[in-house]
Amino acid sequence: MTDIHAKEQTNIKFTVESLNLFYGDFQALNDINLTIEKNEITALIGPSGCGKSTFLKTLNRMNDLEPNVTINGNIYLDSVDVNKDMDAIELRKRVSMVFQQPNPFPKSVYDNVAYGPRINGIRKKTQLDEIVERSLKQAAIWDEVKDRLHKSALGLSGGQQQRLCIARTLALEPEVILMDEPTSALDPISTMKIEDLASELKKNYTIVIVTHNMQQASRISDKTAFFLLGNLVEFDTTITLFSQPSDKRTEEYITGRFG
Amino acid sequence: MSTHKTGTLPSAKQSAFQKFKNEYFWRYLIITCGLFIILLTLGIGFFLVVKGSGTFTEFHHSVWEFLFSSDWSPMDSTTESGGGVGAAIYIFGSISTCTLALLFVAPFSITSAILMTEIAPNSGTKIFQPAIEIFVGIPSVVYGWIGLTVLVPFIKHLFHPKMGGYSVLAASIVLAVMIFPTITTVAADAIRSVSSDYRKAAYGMGSTRWQVIYKVIIPAATPGILTGVILGLARAFGEALAVAMVIGKTRAFPANILSPTNNLTAAIASDMGNSATGGEQNMALWTMALLLFIISIFFIFLIHIISGKEKKKHA
Ligand SMILES: Nc1ncnc2c1ncn2[C@@H]1O[C@H](COP(=O)(O)OP(=O)(O)OP(=O)(O)O)[C@@H](O)[C@H]1O
Ligand SMILES: [Mg+2]
């Protein structure tokens, strides 16, 4: 068993096996099985309330913060069970999250990006400077903020704030970045910038992105998972899922006939 | 009201009346009340300025003398003058007791606020919050009385000061207990109103709970916490009765925190009633009241600066 896994897993970041999640008595995820590959963008699509965010949060155990959540099944990150054999804090440093509403801290641009390195114990100014600059450049926002690093991040536009939040995440040097509808609060140009950024980042990171935007999913993702009422209806390469969906419900959803 | 009689085409008129009743009536009532409050405040300020400036205009003392001299020997009659009106002892008494009270209580208040909002929000809202609100409603004489019967003997027993337990320490502790609920509730509100987006962001990057509290929530809530501290300080400065009961009312600078002294409010409260209206002492007491008024205006001004900065930051 372990041998087979070891062979397969060279390119696999997450393996999810028969995952069920309950909020109290309500079952929000129903027997989910899928794998997420390294250096790919995996898109999660589906109508509102189908469990996309819930699933995304199981990947870095953000659900631990909510009361009355029960999870069974297994999630492996590099073949280590995240629920049984990993500390949630460590997990979230490796698998970090970007949210729908840009949520920079009410601190300076610099302090936002330096937050992660600082909680990891990095104190040296030169080292922090370097991480901040590198992260902001990676997030394609350096040119826009380099002259105002020490001003409040809340003065940035929504699109800039979201790229700052991505920079803040990158500063932690995670392995996986989870994005929950990162562009739904943004204008088209900011959206495009974030999409370009995601495509660029997948060279070094694994990305899982929730989106309501079919075009976005087809533009940037390698694999797409379609959720409906807590079930994973279809999971395939994005090209296949959008051109020849094998499930009728998938087809109806992507052609806009419901949802 | 004629609309009711005509009956056939009342709707337009009636709705105008209704509109007046629903909108303008309340609006004007509120505006009137608001103006009244503003006038009242201005009136009090004006009255205090007129009364309190007599020391400097009528009796020709200097502001310097009033603030920094400790020679307090004003004449208590309408005909004589020429005594000293140095209020430095009272001013120092107020400042030292309030500062100490703040030093004692701020760590407790802020820790409690964190505890009831972040660590145990359930029992915080169910038990802690109501308990604290009860504290706010207790009249100050009760605090003073407990100070007098429990705290003063206790200090005496513990340290054997020469003058008994009446002391700066006793006054500071009573004040600290009195302002604890104010600071705690305002600070807790400030912490609660920190956007949960910040929490999510911090947890989503692998922060521990302590890091979330210490590095994200407290900094974001700092203006609100400071507002609570200033409100508490303002309350401490204005408190007379409870302090008067335990401070020892001795007109001397305290040698240490175990010595008795006096403060502005206690002096005003105990001497104002017996002083001859318009006399030097009476005027000097008014000047002390004016000083308290200026201090509280200053505190309110500080709160506005803090919250104004905060708004600017979020704009
Ligand atoms: N903390 C919670 N407690 C109870 N039920 C919850 C909780 N969070 C989500 N749910 C429920 O679980 C289901 C899935 O929610 P989830 O937020 O994962 O949906 P989603 O696919 O992300 O929807 P959207 O596209 O609107 O963001 C919904 O029915 C929702 O009402
Ligand atoms: Mg969602």
What integer pLDDT is reported at residue A257 of this predicted model? 66
What integer pLDDT is reported at residue B273 of this predicted model? 86
Q: Calculate what percentage of chain B has a pLDDT beyond 70.
A: 94
What integer pLDDT is reported at residue A1 of this predicted model? 44
- Cβ burial, residue B225 (10 Å; 0-12/13-18/19+): buried
Candidates A86, A97, A179, partner chain B, best to mutate (most B CBs within 10 A):
A97
Strand A223-228 relative to strand A231-237: parallel, antiparallel, unpaired? antiparallel
- How far is the centre of ligand 1, averaged over its atoms, from the C-alpha of A59 (Å)? 15
Q: Which of B197, B219, B315 sits opposite A107 (nearest CB)?
A: B219
Q: What is the rounded average pLDDT of the residues A78-101?
A: 92
Which residue's CA is minimally distant from atom 28 of ligand 1?
A49
Least confident of A85-94, B217-226, B305-314: B305-314
Q: What is the rounded average pLDDT of the residues B27-53?
A: 92
Which residue's CA is minimally distant from atom 12 of ligand 1?
A28
| Cα torsion angle, B214, B219, B225, B226, sign | positive
- Cβ burial, residue A222 (10 Å; 0-12/13-18/19+): middle
What integer pLDDT is reported at residue B5 of this predicted model? 46
Which residue's CA is minimally distant from atom 2 of ligand 1?
A23
User: Between chains, do B205 and A92 touch, taking CB under 8 Å as contact?
Assistant: yes
Q: Of how many residues is chain B composed?
A: 315
Q: What is residue B81's DSSP assignment?
A: -
- Compute CA distances A184 → A47, A156, A216, A254, B151, whole Å: 14, 17, 11, 18, 61
The pLDDT-based confidence of A40 (bands split at 50, 70, 90) is: very high
With contact defined as beta carbons under 8 Å apart, do B153 and B172 qualify? no
Q: What is the rounded average pLDDT of the residues A230-254?
A: 91
With contact defined as beta carbons under 8 Å apart, do A8 and A56 qualify? no
The pLDDT-based confidence of B9 (bands split at 50, 70, 90) is: low
What domains are defined for chain A? 3-254 (3.40.50.300)
Tell me the residues of chain A between 35 and 64 that have a Cβ less than 8 Å away from chain B. 60, 62
- Compute CA distances A128 → A94, A118, A119, whole Å: 19, 8, 12
Q: What is the rounded average pLDDT of the residues A20-37?
A: 94
What integer pLDDT is reported at residue A113 of this predicted model? 96
> For residue A105, what are its two tokens?
């801290």
Interface ipTM: 0.88
Q: What is the pLDDT of residues B138-147, one digit of tens each?
A: 899 999 999 9
What integer pLDDT is reported at residue B3 of this predicted model? 44
Side chain identity, residue B261: T
Q: What is the pLDDT of residues B162-214, one digit of tens each?
A: 778 899 999 999 999 999 999 999 999 999 999 899 999 999 999 999 999 99
B259 pLDDT higher than 60:
yes
What integer pLDDT is reported at residue B1 of this predicted model? 41
With contact defined as beta carbons under 8 Å apart, do A172 and A96 qualify? yes
> For residue B202, what are its two tokens?
């911090």
With contact defined as beta carbons under 8 Å apart, do A45 and A51 qualify? no
With contact defined as beta carbons under 8 Å apart, do A151 and A111 qualify? no
SS3 category, B179 = helix
Helices (H) and strands (E) in chain B, counts: 17, 0
What integer pLDDT is reported at residue B309 of this predicted model? 72
Q: What is the rounded average pLDDT of the residues A34-43?
A: 94
- Ligand 1 contacts (CB < 6 A) are A 23, 26, 28, 46, 48-54, 66
Q: What is the rounded average pLDDT of the residues A173-181?
A: 93
In chain B, which residue's Cα lies nearest the Cα of A90?
A: B206
Topology at the third CATH level for domain B88-314: MetI-like fold (1.10.3720)
SS3 category, A20 = strand
What integer pLDDT is reported at residue B7 of this predicted model? 46
- Mean pLDDT, chain A, rounded, equals 90
- Quickly list DSSP for A185-214: TS-HHHHHHHHHHHHHHTTTSEEEEE-S-H
User: Between chains, do A172 and B205 touch, taking CB under 8 Å as contact?
Assistant: yes
What integer pLDDT is reported at residue B82 of this predicted model? 82
Number of other CB atoms surrounding residue B37 within 10 Å: 10
Tell me the residues of chain B between 201 and 240 that have a Cβ less than 8 Å away from chain A. 201-208, 211, 215-216, 219-220
User: Between chains, do A165 and B201 touch, taking CB under 8 Å as contact?
Assistant: yes
What integer pLDDT is reported at residue B13 of this predicted model? 62
User: Between chains, do B215 and A103 touch, taking CB under 8 Å as contact?
Assistant: no
SS3 category, A44 = strand
Q: Of how many residues is chain A composed?
A: 259
The answer for residues whose C-beta is within 8 angstroms of residue B126's C-beta and 6 or more apart is none
Whole-model pTM over 0.80: yes
B254 φ, ψ to 5°?
-70, 135
Contact list, B313 vs chain A (CB under 8 Å)? 106, 152, 154
With contact defined as beta carbons under 8 Å apart, do B101 and B176 qualify? yes
Number of other CB atoms surrounding residue B155 within 10 Å: 22
